[in-house]
Amino acid sequence: MKDGITLRLAEPRDAHAIAALSRDHIEAGLPWKYDAARILRAMRRRDTVVLVAAEGRSVRGFAVMDFGDERAHLALLAVSPGHRRRGIGRRLMEWLLESARTAGIASVHLELRSGNEAARRFYRAMGFSETILVPGYYGGRESALRMIRVLRAPGEVPLAWQPPWLAQK
């Protein structure tokens, strides 16, 4: 716990707070897609992590990341305006990146509004590189900037440990 903020997996009681943060600070001006029902569905998926930065029972930030075989996709990340610039977003991203490395993920991908300079700077500082601009990505209204962070070369995951009977052959 740092500054009273704890990172933990989201619980069903967090869904409304997460959805509200998404609506107000990620999806503002766009049709609302990540309502509480969708957040609850994400929490139930085995290949998705919904992580919250909580202060007591209050959600101050969150992230949603989908894991594939070699790629992970950061779907959402937000910190409430009154809690920004305190390292909460960085802590959420570091937790997710470490989880991705542990899972053998080769790269993490994301999209953000192309005009969101603060998010661009944040993701660059987290080691992400810009890849492509996608016109009209957000409801035909706004362009998205895709970014990637490479964690390892793609291909087979090297085994870090083998049972003794395999090592003896």
Residues annotated as catalytic are 111, 123
Burial class (CB in 10 A: 0-12, 13-18, 19+), 100: buried
> 134-143: long-range contacts (C-beta < 8 A, 24 or more apart)?
137/111, 138/30, 138/113, 139/30, 139/31, 141/29, 141/30, 142/30, 142/113, 142/114, 142/115, 143/113, 143/114, 143/115
Distance in angstroms (rounded) separating the CA atoms of residues 141 and 138: 6
Distance in angstroms (rounded) separating the CA atoms of residues 95 and 2: 14
Distance in angstroms (rounded) separating the CA atoms of residues 90 and 39: 22
What six digits make up the tokens of 19?
């959805």
For residue 49, the cross-strand partners are 65
